[in-house]
Amino acid sequence: MRRLPLLKIAFASLALTGGLLFVPLRNEMGNVATFVLLMHLVVGLIIVLPGAVFLLKFWRDWNSLRKVMAMLASVCVIGGVWMIWQGVVGTVVHGDGALWISHVITGFLATGIYVFARKKSVRSSASSPEKEARTPKKSKVTSLSRPPVSNLRLLLLLLPLLGWVTADRLLYAPEAYVRDLTSVTAEGAQSPRFPALIQISEVNSADATFRNWDAQSPQTCSEKGCHPAAHTQWAQSGHATSAINPVYRAALAGFRLERGNRASRWCASCHSPRVALDEEKSKSGNNTAGVDCLSCHAMTETASVRQGNGAYTLQVRETYPFANEAEGWRKRLHHFLMKVRPTPHSNALHIPGFHNKAESCAACHRQSHNVAQNGFQFVQTTDTYGDWRSGLHSGRTIAGAFPLSKTETKTGQECQSCHFPQTSEGNVSHLSAGNRPDNLTQNRVSLDLFALRAADASRPRGEAWIAPLDTNSTSGSSLLVSGKRVTLDVLVTNESVGHAFPGGYEDLRRAWIEVQIFDEQGRVVAQSGVVKREEDPLPPDTHTYGKLPIDRDGKPLLRHQLARQVSTAWKRVLLPGASELVRFQFQVPGKRWRIVSRFRSQKWTPDIAKSAGLIEGANPITDMARASVTLSDGTILEAQGVPVRPLWERWTRYGLAALSPVDRPDLSRSLYALQTAQTLSPQSAQVALAFGRYYLREPALLAAKAKFEATLKREPQNAEAQFGLGSVYRRQGQYDLALAQLSPLVLRFSEDTSFRREIALADYYAGRYADAAKSLEAALAVDPDDEQAHYQLQQCYQRLQRIPDARREEMTRRYLTISTWSKSLTDEYRLSHPSEANRWRGLPVYTLGK
């Protein structure tokens, strides 16, 4: 190497430029980074041939250490040349690929071995007698004479990290929240794009953002073999058509007629972010661009104060030179740089811990209307994110920590787990599969034709049961006599939809249960929910899932007229993991008969489809679940669609479903079902836990306490039992015991707002008002729209003599609370539509007819 100083300089420059690219310039690809990269590539190519000649010439003279260094350097150079070739021919070199990793590792190892060998050689020559005789003695510099490492300086460097780790990143900012909640002008909202809440990062100017966005269209992402599969999938998704689908265009046109073009920017924040940012495009109505690649991948954060309504920040960076060139050598150089070194690109458009978390979805999948939208008051419209977070699958709440069926239910899942899953090739699917027929039929909802009941004075409970309805059940002929009036109990379960179903804006969708009773000749003798064509309305006696908004006159809004909605006549959804009990009454048609039931859904209601001008066949009906039972002479001959789960679990689900309605739960049948489940599985912790819920609801606190304690003996880490036991202690006035039971769960379930409120109640009644206020502030940091938490916090502030804060919380609560007048609209609608009463009843009962 001494004989070839230029080669030595070349290797040194490779090591230097490689180090710069790996550390300080890792996420940069501006002019400086481009120069360093090109220098690294050019020098590497230049020394390939001289390096090979040098290696062959001096190989025999080197020791083993230098030979290892030479082999590592050779692997590094070969890998580098191969990556350059891939970049030239148009193959993407993934930043985490084996080739890139081996290139970096072998390069650093070769450099390290070379430095070590040089130091060893210098020491050997310096310690020789001849060298010592020629070298004048110098004063020794010991380690004690060196300046010591400053521990204080090290601590100062670590303080920001320590602060990030220990700080509670969920903070309640009441002033900012009130401003966002009550603003009706751009000045009040402190946002020039109001009512759109989308923001541009301070790193970019608006002009640079638009220029860079236009240069990085979805089409450019699929060019040169970069992301063709992702682009193809995205093009078939609802994101791609979010700004041009007929339903949105029809709703947008109606909204603009009533509220004006500027108000419609609120819609564009989520349906067409590029338009929401650009006032000229918003005015012109040119919003064909939907939710494209950068709409999500350039998102750097969502609103920290109040998530939803399109409140998020975008940073659209020009990570590589010449990104805005249409063609020519500059464009080719841009593609080459991106392919040979994609790390800055991937790091700029994928933030680990954000883009793969549900919070990145919350910005648009949590919506509420306000004065700026309906000219009247706050109305919570749809909260898909909130349904997921508080549900079974998120793993963030106590209710989802120990699901009823541990073998079938997955917890700790994000939105992306289902909607953007990993493909078999290891990539992320961009179909954003949601309300698609092929997705809805994947065991998302189940039907369990669970029981037939009939009045029977000779039985202890005054009625006879056949349950569950499968071929292992036995029955008496007295129950199934022709003409006998019976009740069919159907359990509907949201098996694997991570949020409530239907999701999104529920007034756009419809789902329902169809039940038909056939006699021995196969004739329909009784039915409910039968729809022959996709455009037909549902019969009045149909068990329906969806929502019916109403306007200021109490009239139903059937075409998604967001600007008019002030209240809701009814809403029914299936919460994640939950079961609902639905009852149908009919007369036994004869000796041999059959029950057939289907759970059916449509993406759009017929009124929505009509307003959007959808053609026939564009709004198909999907059968998500089907079950049937055939009976003869008091015997079940055949049962199809029976859920595959233990018998004790089916009884437990029935008991919990009968217990769940807020108004008029069926306590007696709930207790009977749970007693049966306990007989089937005496040692089940889940049955004991269900009993605890039952007694807490009744309420029978001592019995509930015993059941929760029994659960904890079988499963000491059962968080729901700990929560239930703490709630019992609090209701009994044993506040210290309640806090001792609940406090260990804080770190595990910091985002469970109902849990935070329970702790706050224990602190409040114990006179620890400041501690209660902290718990409620933590709850509001998670969900600042929690009306109940605002009320409790108001009470705490009053006790603490923080009168201005108490008044602010009172004002906020009143703002969030639906007005008495709006409630009266709901009441008037229900009184005037008695035939629809089952749509808002907790335990609906339908009488089947022809």
pLDDT tens readout for residues 301-333? 887 666 788 999 998 877 788 877 777 888 888
What is the pLDDT, as a whole number, of residue 566?
A: 92
Mean pLDDT calculated for residue range 457-477: 79
Q: How would you class 768 by CB atoms within 10 Å of its CB: exposed for 0-12, middle for 13-18, buried for 19 or more?
A: middle
Q: Tokens at residue 109, please?
A: 């190892």
* Tens digit of each residue's pLDDT (9 = 90 or more) over 588-616: 998 899 999 999 999 999 999 999 999 88
For residues 505 and 478, the answer to whether their CB atoms sit within 8 Å is no
* Type of residue numbered 175: E
Question: What is the spatial distance between Cα 27 and Cα 347, in angstroms, rounded to a whole number?
Answer: 7
SS3 content of the chain, % helix, strand, coil (to 5): 50, 15, 40
Mean pLDDT calculated for residue range 404-426: 75
| pLDDT: which is higher, 578 or 425 | 578
Give CA separation, 117 vs 9, 111, 112, 114, 512, in Å. 17, 10, 9, 5, 77
Q: Please list the alpha-helical segments (H only) found in 260-394.
A: 265-271, 273-277, 279-284, 293-297, 329-340, 343-349, 359-362, 371-374, 384-389
Residue 178 confidence class, pLDDT cut points 50, 70, 90: confident
What is the pLDDT, as a whole number, of residue 282?
A: 60
What is the pLDDT, as a whole number, of residue 520?
A: 92
pLDDT of 402 above 70: no
Q: Please list the alpha-helical segments (H only) found in 390-532.
A: 415-419, 437-440
What is the pLDDT, as a whole number, of residue 278?
A: 80
pLDDT of 700 above 70: yes
* Tens digit of each residue's pLDDT (9 = 90 or more) over 627-668: 999 998 778 889 999 988 999 999 999 999 999 998 899 999
Strand order in 299-302's β-sheet?
A: 199-200, 312-314, 299-302
pLDDT of 155 above 50: no
What is the pLDDT, as a whole number, of residue 141?
A: 41
Q: Tokens at residue 329, please?
A: 């050598």
| pLDDT: which is higher, 116 or 664 | 664
Cα-Cα-Cα-Cα dihedral sign, residues 838, 839, 843, 844 = positive
Q: Indicate left, alpha or beta for 309 from its phi (over 0: left) and psi (-120 to 50: alpha).
A: left
Mean pLDDT calculated for residue range 20-26: 81
What is the pLDDT, as a whole number, of residue 424?
A: 77
The residue behind tokens 């009977």 is 672
pLDDT of 147 above 50: no
What is the pLDDT, as a whole number, of residue 806?
A: 97
For residues 826 and 568, the answer to whether their CB atoms sit within 8 Å is yes
What is the pLDDT, as a whole number, of residue 756?
A: 94
What is the pLDDT, as a whole number, of residue 708?
A: 97
Residue ranges of domains in the chain: 5-126, 184-400, 434-645+846-850
Question: What is the spatial distance between Cα 789 and Cα 761, in angstroms, rounded to a whole number?
Answer: 10
| Torsion angle of C-alpha atoms 423, 427, 430, 432, degrees rounded to 10 | 40
Range with top average pLDDT, 93-97, 199-203, 303-307: 199-203
Q: How would you class 302 by CB atoms within 10 Å of its CB: exposed for 0-12, middle for 13-18, buried for 19 or more?
A: buried
Mean pLDDT calculated for residue range 521-526: 94
pLDDT of 692 above 90: yes
* Tens digit of each residue's pLDDT (9 = 90 or more) over 798-821: 999 999 999 999 999 999 988 788
What is the pLDDT, as a whole number, of residue 124?
A: 60
pLDDT of 174 above 80: yes
- CA 466, distance to chain mean position in Å, is 40
* Tens digit of each residue's pLDDT (9 = 90 or more) over 735-745: 999 999 999 99
Mean pLDDT calculated for residue range 433-448: 82
Q: For domain 434-645+846-850, give the CATH superfamily.
A: Immunoglobulins (2.60.40.10)
pTM of the model: 0.85
